[in-house]
Chain A
Amino acid sequence: MIVAKRKPINEIAEMLAPYKKVTVIGCRSCVAICLAGGEKEVKMLVSALKVKNKKDGRKQHIEGFVVERQCEKEWIKEVEDKVLESDVTLSMACSLGAQTIGDMYPSHLTFPGLNTGMFGVPEEQGVWSEKCVGCGNCIIHTTGGICPIARCAKSMLNGPCGGSADRKCEVNLEVDCAWAAIYDRLKIQNRLDLIEKVTPAKDWSTSHSGGRRVYVREDAKLTPHQKKGREGVQ
């Protein structure tokens, strides 16, 4: 899932300071699971901002709402009135949610309340770690199911670098060396022969380095006729 973190409250308050009417919109998907922008977090932020406004003597109307998935236009429609009647919308979703609102209402101001961090997994309650960078060409079937691109600081493809010592990464001694983990996993799987296979230099054009990516599935796209029909229903 996408893992994000709330921006510091003073930074958010500074962004919103010039505006009289603020709508805060959270998301019940990834950012709710990582406790950054779900219903509870929206309510707490709204309350904290109200307390801050009281302290600063600022008059500002702040209301909070939550949608199912902020990255999908259909769900944003549910809070369209609330968005448009405010001076500014603070998105408590990942950047995708904030940009979806921004794309739908280009003349309306939409600011980010979260810093979007990574594709990660919950390791334990309250701990999330990065396991994928979305490079667009997955190879974990050759590395024991562990991604060296995301989990190695240098994204090494053919074993550890010279800085790996005592199974730890030289960038951060608290982080396990991804290649030590890959070795262990391949050993368990009786596939250690894979570690000797040379992986050629990676084609990064499938990643963000190749520019903005757009994936299309032709059979799922609506034809102009279908689009017209849907518009009619709406």
Chain B
Amino acid sequence: MTEQKPKIVGFCCERHGMDAVVLAARSGKQSDASVRLVQVPCTGRVDGLHILKALEDGADAVFVLGCLEKNCYYDTGSIEGRKRVGYVKQMLSEAGIEKERVEMFNAASTNAWAFPEAVAKMVEVARKLGPIGGGERQ
């Protein structure tokens, strides 16, 4: 039986985050994961509930990709995003779920490596931990 692709959800800001995604796509980088990207105006818009819902609905891992913290288009949006990710990590730890399933990444629009690197890290985590609760992926 072939191994199912890990399911990853990525919340990307429409500024540097998505620019980095587009740049990676243009450079032809491929991934063996099933990555669903959700474009948000700013990572400050990402709520802890969005991340938890993604996990609840079958994602193995979730990441948030935003601007560099000192170069955020909306000044402090990516700092807010990191705080939300931190809070979800805390909730997951309390619940006995691996907090590594959720991660925050930052990128400049010129960082072609940033998106593939984020996906690779989350794929590694998803492969190591498997689906939440084990068994087949939904």
Contact = CB atoms under 8 A, between A and B. Distances in A.
7 contacts: A8-B94, A10-B95, A40-B47, A48-B91, A54-B132, A54-B133, A55-B133
A43 interface: yes
Interface of B: 47-49, 52-53, 55-56, 91-92, 94-97, 132-134
A51 B48 CA distance: 13
Contact of B49 (A43, A52, A56): A43
Given A9-B94, A10-B96, A44-B48, 14 more contacts: A8-B94, A9-B95, A10-B95, A40-B49, A43-B49, A44-B49, A51-B95, A51-B97, A51-B132, A52-B96, A54-B132, A55-B95, A55-B133, A57-B134
B91 A44 contact: yes
Contacts of A47: 49, 52-53, 55-56
Given A9-B95, A10-B95, A44-B91, A54 B56 contact: yes
B56 A50 contact: yes
Contact of A52 (B53, B95, B134): B95
Most chain A CB neighbours (cut-off 10 Å) among B49, B95, B134: B95
A13 interface: yes
A48 B53 contact: no
A51 B101 CA distance: 12
A51 B96 contact: no
Contact of B52 (A10, A13, A48, A55): A48
B94 A51 contact: no
Contact of A9 (B47, B48, B91, B132): B91
Interface string A13-44: 10000000000000000000000000010011
